[in-house]
Structure 1
Amino acid sequence: MTAAAIPPEIDRWFACRGWRVRRHQADMLTAADAGRHALLVADTGAGKTLAGFLPTLAAFCPSRLAGAAPPDGLHTLYVSPLKALAHDVQRNLLTPVAEMGLPIRIETRSGDTPSDRKARQRARPPHVLLTTPESLSLLLSYPEAAAMFAGLQRIVIDEIHAFATGKRGDLLALSLARLQAIAPGLRRVGLSATLADPDAFRGWLAPWGEIDTVALVMGEKGADPHVALLLPTEERIPWSGHAATWAIPQLYDRIRAHRTTLVFTNTRFLAEYIFQQLWSANDDHLPIGIHHGSLSKEARRKVEGAMARGELRALVCTASLDLGVDWGDIDLVVQMGAPKGSSRLLQRIGRANHRLDQPSEALLVPGNRFEFLEAMAAVQAVEEGQRDGEDFRPGGLDVLAQHVMACACAGPFHEADLLAEVRSSLAYAWVDGAAFARVLDFVATGGYALRSYEKFRRIVRERDGRWRLAHPEQAARHRLNAGIIVDAEMLDVRFRNGRSLGRVEEQFGASLKPGDTFRFAGLDLEVEALRDLELIVRAARRSATIPSYMGQRMPISTHLADRVRALLADRAGWARFPDDVREWLEVQDWRSHLPAPGRLLVESFPHLGLAYTTYYTFEGWNANQSLGMLITRRMEDRGLGPLGFVATDYTLAVWGMKPVDDPAAMLSPDILTHEFVDWVQQSYLLRRAFREVAVISGLVERQHPGKRKSGRQVTFSTDLIFDVLRKYEPDHLLIQAAWADARARMTDVARVADLLDRAAREIDHVHLDRISPLSVPVLSMIGRESLPSGAADDELLAEAETLASLAMRPDPVAED
């Protein structure tokens, strides 16, 4: 491509600020002038957003207009995963537009936008509209969409890595296909700082089969971040626990020494706990805030405003600020606990300084010894520029059903035309005529088992073959209920007499079936039923099979897990580790084995009169939890008397009355065709997945005019429909979609399958006479629920020290 000339207005604006147009910014203008789509991968602080908008600004520069009138109507769409990010971009764009005197009107549109402004935007759109995937889909559902988007020139998708691989990405992919059909000259632009596989995202961004039309623009390399590990000055790194409370005094000193510190945690519970601990240490009364998704919108906006004004010295937060707005005063980022992925860590590190030529400063605070290894692996990955991320998977049928309904709201359509449009996206290129006909039939009737109910009749076929709305009111109902994000529910844990014990995440409760036992609030409980968002329990007559309720959290990425295994295998590299970590690994190596890359270490040993087996999988908590469910069922069938299991990201420990002499038999691949299917069907996993796809597809409505259904009401409705379909139409489109979700998201079955594949090839099975050093962290968690306050960490540490004294004792041990 021939380099594009930078308009003098833009050149002067950069020069007045003491800046220069960076090479990747100029390359984005060159790609636009050549009529190409573009994907920009550049570090945080590299001016990605401005690069994405540079062709838009250029199009309105007088030097390029050469006396012609400025473009009229909607010229550029900007799509971001967060409403707050869109508002921040608007603020940052208004400055150059005003200072260059460009005739550009910029507005935002989201669920918070007043209805009169939304109506005005459809009739007289601004030149640049900043929005979210859901709001864009709703815009496309209006009859005036074709006129509104006919002249659209560009769509800029920011933080593309954050949602392209999920259902929000499916919805946006379908919207892109529709926009391209309306405006064939439309050019697509993606922006990201953290992509492991840029070509995969080029394929997603491009119209299907046209990846070569997407120019890949790599940003100028910025200053390397300064990433360090915070280690105890006097104490040892804890064996177990996640709160890293040992670090609070040191962390507070760092906050005092910096202008503004962003403290990331991996869960909302941990954010609250760390916030409380910092306030207890806050003798200087420093302004410290907290930000996470459970807080009210007003509370979050208040904190965001205080940060933007530079009024806070520290902010404790969760992934709610992973895609943070541009707060230039942040000069330190802290990651409490394990980072879980190099891309996520890089994204968080980039919040500091937010300038390409200045290094970001970051501090990793491991909560335990495995988290130390994970933090070391993450630092290595950052230093080597390695990224990780989720793979693309086929688009969801529930999202496709929602899109079909949106298209019908905009006006009648021909089946063949819409199918061709849908198939022009990578996510739905797999959809053939038969699959699309099933989707249309579902939207039209609800499916075979529901077609006699008028309420499920949303579209009809006209005599000329076109599909249209069954009734005009269906459009308003669709716009009221459309969306992809289905709020996660918490389950009340109750005895039958109504006594409440607390709340657990629904994903945990959904994995249980009647008769399963788990430990919660200090009690061994047996599940009687799950109904209307209540987990009904009774006192268990035996020890809990799942002895620790650990709550929801992010799993370690496959890439980072591989790096941790490599650290364990690199004995020469242990010299860099603290003495207590090095001793831990040396004794493990002497007494047993260490997990080796490409192999599965399994240990068997007696403990407190029971037979224990530990599987060092490194496949993440979700996969290990699922595997624990399956292995205990298989042990039961074989008469081994399983009594319980506990899972971490790294390890699965299972125990019972009799030892597992052949772990390969526990891990044969047919466990995924027999026990897995049986477990999912008997538990509530499929029912929970069905509720989500039923809401997304529009089969069950969350809102009516002036009234929103409670989570309990939605659950009741979807449960009734689920029971009908399971009985009369088990191959229903939504049952199929629910199975896909249960396998991919809820059980992480792909990682379980990878583990089984590894087990089929190479297992290192070691028989020991007692607990091993490497198994201390997981066994110390037995019976220690992770309470919201995080206070259970003290119990974890005490139990771990007791187990460690046994595991690290140097007397000889028998092995096989």
Structure 2
Amino acid sequence: MLPAIITRWFDARGWRVRRHQAEMVVAAEAGQHALLVAATGAGKTLAGFLPTLADLIQNPAEGLHTLYVSPLKALAADVERNLLAPIAEMGLPIRVETRTGDTSSDKKARQRTAPPHILLTTPESLSLLLSYPDSARTFAGLRTIVIDEVHAFASGKRGDLLALAIARLQGLVPGLRRVALSATIGDPEDYRRWLAPGENVALVAGEPGAKAKIEILTPEGRVPWSGHSGRYAAEQVYREIERHRLTLVFCNTRSLAELVFNDLWAVNEATLPIGLHHGSLSKEARQKVEGAMADGRLRALVCTASLDLGVDWGDVDLVVQMGAPKGSSRLIQRIGRANHRLDEASEAIVVPGNRFEYLEARAALDAIDAGELDTEPWRPGALDVLAQHLMACACADPFDADAMFAEVRRAAPYAALTREEFHRVLHFVADGGYALRAYDRYKRLTQNPDGRWRVSHPNLAKQHRLNAGIIVEAPMLDVRFGNGRSLGRVEEYFASTLSPGDTFRFGGLALEVERIIDTDLIVSATRRAAMIPSYMGARLPLSTHLAERVRGFLADPAQWRRFPPDVAEWLEVQQIRSVLPKPGELLIETFPHDGLHHMIAYSFEGWNAHQSLGMLLTRRMETLGLQPTGFVANDYALGVYGLKEVRDPAPLFSPDILEDELAEWVQTSHLLKRAFREVAVIGGLIERQHPGKRKSGRQVTFSTDLIYNVLRKYEPDHMLLRAAWEDARLRLTDVARLANLLDRAAGSIVHKRLDRVSPLAVPVLVMIGRESVAQGLADDALLIEAEALARQAMHIVVERPDVA
């Protein structure tokens, strides 16, 4: 039961305690772990905190009562504001504070000795808090840990770190109750197991809200043949902005956000206030835009995943998704940013970039109607994360290896960890491993006479806290004006392509490069035409269940009447000219075009998997003497072209390509070096910064390359090389989807030899030679080439009988 002061607060606001909020209180009273799955706007966060407020009202106590863990620093700060208001309105003597990388060192020190009742933090900050010798005292009174937006990181490395931290906390306070919150979970059972392995976790389902109103934008004219941005619809999107109070325009990449922002300003005749928000902009720039949103001074904000889980603004009455969403869960998450009220329908518009993306957008809407959400791929806990955790534990207090092994195995990602693997990680942390143990700098742990492991020197604990973290960004340069004003950051690899006098667009400004000094890219404003920076952030993968729905559309002509006439005609002519694959089939078309032989495989496994497969196929084709000259990919198809015709594609798609070509490719490519750089930083082998000084990306890369070469030569089975191999093989190449594709191909290839390009091939074929062109500069050429290809592909030759 809720205390009267809380029920009176609900009454004063004209609210009622929703069923799922009451069930969360009941679960807490029973001492039960709980997973709440509720729609955005359902009072999910308040539901997570109500048991804490009720307990502190009924059983006042000092010290830390509840930890709230968020994937984003900004989200933790936003929850603090939303939580402080009801606490103040009820007059409760409850202290709430935030602890993130932005918190001052003085405040952090005070929080360890005099913690608030509720502490809002991130997985990384929690891990650091556990690395202090006084952590047992800090957490002595902890009752509950609440994990918000658990779907955003549970299955990744940040989830591994958090799971290890929870196992550590459980050892310090055995009665700790675990709570997780999410709006978009495909398989709750996976998350219940992750939250509390082997224990009973109550599953609380939120009350259903009003059904969202989602439309797919119908272009003025025809749905484009190629592209993936939806930029052709800038004027239509602008008119929607004019009709609404506040619009969020979501883009799947930072580069696209910059382009769309400029497109909207180019048609902004009324000079409506339109802002830009993405992760590469400076913190000051992001906070300025967030403040303008909160104060109601913007009409639209162009943004990326930086606001997927972001700050909740009740005035948002429209969400626009530029390009296909790539997953139903992501689309629901973004739509939930509109209205943020359970009883009011959110309004959203999806702007597909091309004809395949129209099918994908329709598949996403159907999936939402059917309640079908994305499921996350789960994998064993990462060993580099475990190494960082062991170092943190040693910084807090010497530990016994057997007890630590048992504790680590209580974390779900490490439940199957073997004793041998654990000891390899432990000894890597202790001395760097066989090839590095001769160097004193890698001797981080020492074994006491009683067998327990401790930090070799107090300075190593300081260095750990300075360098710990899971997010390893690509090497970046600060973009600054000559007066020192920072605009944000761009990837070092992009900056390395620039020379003084070159121009690019960033933060909505056209900039000219003046010079590069150390880690600063010095620029000045310009009116000259500008390139758009290309960011290395991974492309969003097309979810498996959306791919399956798109395949279903192709095979079911009865569905085509739901599509715009030009999309339906595209599929009809494809059926006449070639064939449309049935679910489970792999259609491969071969045809001559522009003096080359082309092979197009319609596999629907996403851009990342297709990029990897393209590299493997061209290697195999070279071995077979087929003389490939290149490949191109989108989310739906892979096109390979060369000097010789592929008469039988089956041998190219045999599963052994993952054992032979993949192993050779990963070992000899820069892919493995990049993966090694990440695990070396996470595992603590390479330090990113020393007191008062941060290493540049070049310095970190140089250091990791040297160690990488040493280990490959002298200790090829080193733990970090194995961890890097798993990262490169699983995460960076989508190898699981490749394996499924190749297994399917073994008995399902449908090979069609054609005399010219097919309608289905146009969206991927038009990309040949364009992927390296600066985005935004090739649109006109793309349109011209797409139309020419389309005319050729859609032309049907009608056989006429001879006339006597």
Q: Could you state the TM-score of these two structures normalised by the residue count of structure 1? A: 0.91
In the alignment, is residue 742 of structure 1 matched against residue 709 of structure 2? no
C-alpha distance after superposition, 1:535-563 (max 9, x if no partner): xxxxxxxxxxxxx9998521211111111
**Are the counterparts in 2 of residues 494 and 500 from structure 1 also a CA contact under 8 Å?**
no
Of the candidates 560, 566, 580, which is equivalent to residue 594 of structure 1?
580
Of the candidates 623, 626, 634, which is equivalent to residue 640 of structure 1?
626
CA distance in 2, matches of 1:641, 1:495: 32
C-alpha distance after superposition, 1:611-649 (max 9, x if no partner): 111000100011000000000111111111111110111
CA distance in 2, matches of 1:735, 1:552: 22
Within a 5 Å distance, the mapping from 1:12-91 to structure 2 comes to: 12-61=8-57, 64-65=58-59, 70-91=60-81
Of the candidates 544, 550, 557, which is equivalent to residue 571 of structure 1?
557
Of the candidates 85, 91, 104, which is equivalent to residue 95 of structure 1?
85
CA distance in 1, matches of 2:89, 2:117: 17
Count residues with an aligned counterpart.
757
Of the candidates 204, 207, 217, which is equivalent to residue 230 of structure 1?
217
In the TM superposition, residue 246 of structure 1 has moved relative to its aligned partner by 2.4
**Are the counterparts in 2 of residues 252 and 282 from structure 1 also a CA contact under 8 Å?**
yes
In the alignment, is residue 124 of structure 1 matched against residue 114 of structure 2? yes
Indicate the SS of the match to 1:659: coil
Of the candidates 130, 149, 162, which is equivalent to residue 159 of structure 1?
149
In the alignment, is residue 333 of structure 1 matched against residue 319 of structure 2? yes
Within a 5 Å distance, the mapping from 1:60-459 to structure 2 comes to: 60-61=56-57, 64-65=58-59, 70-206=60-196, 208-210=197-199, 213-233=200-220, 235-459=221-445
C-alpha distance after superposition, 1:506-533 (max 9, x if no partner): xxxxxxxxxxxxxxxxxxxxxxxxxx99
CA distance in 2, matches of 1:686, 1:391: 21
Indicate the SS of the match to 2:338: coil
Indicate the SS of the match to 2:133: coil
Amino acid at match of 2:371: G
In the alignment, is residue 615 of structure 1 matched against residue 601 of structure 2? yes
- Number of the residue aligned with 2:610: 624
In the TM superposition, residue 769 of structure 1 has moved relative to its aligned partner by 0.7
C-alpha distance after superposition, 1:145-166 (max 9, x if no partner): 0011011000000000000010
- Number of the residue aligned with 1:524: none
Moved more, 780-789 or 716-725: 780-789
- Number of the residue aligned with 2:589: 603
Amino acid at match of 1:222: G
CA distance in 1, matches of 2:649, 2:23: 56
C-alpha distance after superposition, 1:103-129 (max 9, x if no partner): 210000111111100000001000000
CA distance in 2, matches of 1:469, 1:502: 50
Indicate the SS of the match to 1:480: helix
**Are the counterparts in 2 of residues 270 and 790 from structure 1 also a CA contact under 8 Å?**
no
**Are the counterparts in 1 of residues 474 and 492 from structure 2 also a CA contact under 8 Å?**
no
In the TM superposition, residue 738 of structure 1 has moved relative to its aligned partner by 0.2
CA distance in 1, matches of 2:93, 2:364: 46
Amino acid at match of 2:97: E
CA distance in 2, matches of 1:584, 1:446: 59
Change (3 A) 1:497 1:185: closer
Of the candidates 684, 691, 696, which is equivalent to residue 698 of structure 1?
684
**Are the counterparts in 2 of residues 39 and 217 from structure 1 also a CA contact under 8 Å?**
yes
CA distance in 1, matches of 2:764, 2:103: 48
C-alpha distance after superposition, 1:698-746 (max 9, x if no partner): 0000000110000000000000000000000000000000011001111
CA distance in 1, matches of 2:785, 2:27: 60
Percent of counterpart pairs with the same letter? 67
Indicate the SS of the match to 1:382: helix
Change (3 A) 1:688 1:599: same
In the TM superposition, residue 172 of structure 1 has moved relative to its aligned partner by 0.3
**Are the counterparts in 2 of residues 83 and 110 from structure 1 also a CA contact under 8 Å?**
yes
C-alpha distance after superposition, 1:435-459 (max 9, x if no partner): 1111110000100000000000000
- Number of the residue aligned with 1:527: none
CA distance in 1, matches of 2:313, 2:231: 27
For the aligned residue pairs, the C-alpha RMSD in angstroms reads 1.9
CA distance in 2, matches of 1:434, 1:157: 32
Change (3 A) 1:436 1:688: same
**Are the counterparts in 1 of residues 210 and 345 from structure 2 also a CA contact under 8 Å?**
yes
Detail structure 1 runs of 4+ shifted over 4 Å in the superposition.
493-503, 548-552, 786-789
- Number of the residue aligned with 1:762: 748
CA distance in 2, matches of 1:209, 1:155: 18
Indicate the SS of the match to 2:755: coil
C-alpha distance after superposition, 1:338-397 (max 9, x if no partner): 110000000000000000000000000011111111111011111111100322110000
In the TM superposition, residue 498 of structure 1 has moved relative to its aligned partner by 9.3
Indicate the SS of the match to 1:450: coil
Within a 5 Å distance, the mapping from 1:529-544 to structure 2 comes to: none
Indicate the SS of the match to 2:640: strand
Gaps of 5+ in 2: 476-490, 505-517, 520-533, 800-804
CA distance in 2, matches of 1:812, 1:747: 44
**Are the counterparts in 2 of residues 269 and 788 from structure 1 also a CA contact under 8 Å?**
no
Indicate the SS of the match to 2:209: coil
Amino acid at match of 1:56: T
In the TM superposition, residue 9 of structure 1 has moved relative to its aligned partner by 1.3
CA distance in 1, matches of 2:676, 2:550: 36
